[in-house]
Amino acid sequence: NAGVMQNPRHLVRRRGQEARLRCSPMKGHSHVYWYRQLPEEGLKFMVYLQKENIIDESGMPKERFSAEFPKEGPSILRIQQVVRGDSAAYFCASSPDRGREAGELFFGEGSRLTVL
Amino acid sequence: AQSVAQPEDQVNVAEGNPLTVKCTYSVSGNPYLFWYVQYPNRGLQFLLKYITGDNLVKGSYGFEAEFNKSQTSFHLKKPSALVSDSALYFCAVREGGSGNNRLAFGKGNQVVVIP
């Protein structure tokens, strides 16, 4: 059973370009969470999605960042007009649909974005 | 708001000695607590969780954690540390509402096991 798959693992962009990060959850999981980890810092929540719905975007920056989880295909985190401060590791996590049980999150290996 | 604190930056321990990584929490209501480990350039791996029940929770790789309500702590422990346990350890608490497994993480503790 494949784990959470993220690609690309490493991405280099110049300031002003767009970055697209993809995440395929574990098989049978319908919930996706995106986190950002800045150097020497912990993980910060960005957004929580289910298929075709954004459930919680309380951690998303107001501008330049967007996320989607279409009916078919992976979840995508999109960063427009990247700046150097966007350089970070972006982690995707998934969880199964267990209703109200506090289940653990299963993390991917991360996508490391470097903005030149 | 739900939060956790990991008061130490780095924990150094000799191989074979007991390992403890500290975590305290601040929540309204019942806490759902987690420990994760991160190896260099890797994702987070789940170690264990406390939701309800026994205060001593056993997890992966010989780790365990003790939930202490009076001290609002959830310290991670291992009786005998291995060099391969050197990694970054994160404590986390569920901060989402019902049906939302959003976690809030502590800043992490770097554990260095000295051969």
What tens digit of pLDDT does each residue of A63-110 get?
999 999 999 999 999 999 999 999 999 999 998 876 545 578 999 999
Q: How far is B26 from chain A (nearest CA, A)?
A: 17
Distances (CA, A) of B66 to B19, B90, B94: 13, 15, 17
pLDDT for residue A99:
55
Chain A residues with CB under 8 Å of B47 CB are: none
Put residue A86 in one of left, alpha, beta given phi > 0 → left and psi -120 to 50 → alpha. alpha
pLDDT for residue B98:
74
pLDDT for residue A82:
97
Q: How confident is the model at residue A1 (pLDDT cuts 50, 70, 90)?
A: low
Q: Which residues of chain B have pLDDT under 70?
A: none
Q: Please state, in angstroms and rounded to a whole number, the distance separating the CA atoms of residues A93 and A3.
A: 10
Q: Does B3 touch chain A (CB under 8 A)?
A: no
The token pair at A93 is 């996590």
How many CB atoms are located within 10 Å of the residue A64 CB? 15
A33: nearest CA partner in chain B: B102
Q: In this complex, do B96 and A109 lie within 8 Å of one another by their Cβ atoms?
A: no
pLDDT for residue A101:
56
B97: nearest CA partner in chain A: A100
Q: Which of B34, B46, B102, B105 to mutate to test the interface with A (most CBs of A within 10 A)?
A: B102
Q: In this complex, do A56 and B100 lie within 8 Å of one another by their Cβ atoms?
A: yes
Q: Please state, in angstroms and rounded to a whole number, the distance separating the CA atoms of residues A55 and A63.
A: 18
